[in-house]
């Protein structure tokens, strides 16, 4: 049952990203990347190998349908690599490792910091790959901040939807 639920979220988030959110560009500085919510919502004790495989697969699916060869796969893999340390930095030391990161499990402020830091890592990686240069640093940072804020807003909405279920 849990596997079917995860596959539904996996396919649903990829379809949302490719069909809807890839076409949203607010002022050319903000595009939401909701597909990374799948990585953020995996159990806290998920192994690093599983995270990296899920991250690469998720990013590659978005790349295939979005015609961005390897960019999202690289950024999602980088996020998968950074996810565990970022999650541990936002949770209590005495909390169990067997929980699903969410507003309900972590609280609003720690979840906000967790999603903000994860979205920033993903957005910065994606923007650096896209620009492949640091000559235009201000627009790069504007796009990174815009993507991060819009992504976090969308992830909070997704977390509320997921909580209702």
CATH number (domain holding residue 19) = 1.10.1760
Average the pLDDT over 17-32 and give the result. Answer: 87
* 34-92 pLDDT, tens digit each: 999 999 999 988 999 999 999 999 999 999 998 888 999 999 999 999 999 999 888 76
Instruction: Give the pLDDT score at 72.
Output: 95
State the average pLDDT for the chain.
89
pLDDT digits (tens, 9 = 90+) for 101-117: 888 888 899 999 999 99
Give residue 63's pLDDT: 94
pLDDT at residue 164 greater than cutoff 70: no
Residue 24 has pLDDT above 70, yes or no: yes
- Percentage of the residues of the chain whose pLDDT score is greater than 70: 95
Per-residue confidence (pLDDT) for residue 54, from 0 to 100: 95
Q: Comparing 164 with 163, which gets the higher pLDDT? A: 163
What are the beta bridge partners of residue 30? 26
Its domain, for residue 121, covers 2-164
pLDDT tens across 117-151, in order?
Answer: 999 999 999 999 988 877 888 889 999 999 999 99
How many domains does the chain divide into?
1
């Amino acid at each position: 049952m849990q596997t079917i639920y995860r596959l539904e979220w996996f396919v649903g988030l990829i379809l949302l990203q490719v069909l809807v959110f890839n076409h949203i560009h607010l002022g050319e500085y903000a595009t939401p990347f909701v597909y990374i919510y799948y990585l953020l919502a995996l159990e806290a004790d998920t192994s690093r190998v599983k995270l990296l495989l899920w991250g690469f697969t998720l990013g590659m699916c978005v790349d295939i349908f979005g015609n961005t060869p390897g960019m999202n796969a690289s950024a999602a893999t980088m996020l998968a690599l950074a996810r565990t340390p970022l999650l541990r930095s936002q949770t209590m030391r005495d909390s169990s490792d067997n929980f699903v990161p969410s507003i309900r499990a972590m609280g609003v402020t720690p979840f906000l910091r967790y999603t903000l830091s994860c979205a920033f890592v993903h957005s910065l990686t994606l923007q650096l790959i896209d620009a492949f240069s640091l000559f235009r640093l201000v627009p790069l940072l504007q796009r990174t901040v815009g993507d991060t804020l819009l992504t976090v807003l969308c992830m909070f909405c997704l977390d509320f939807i997921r909580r209702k279920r």
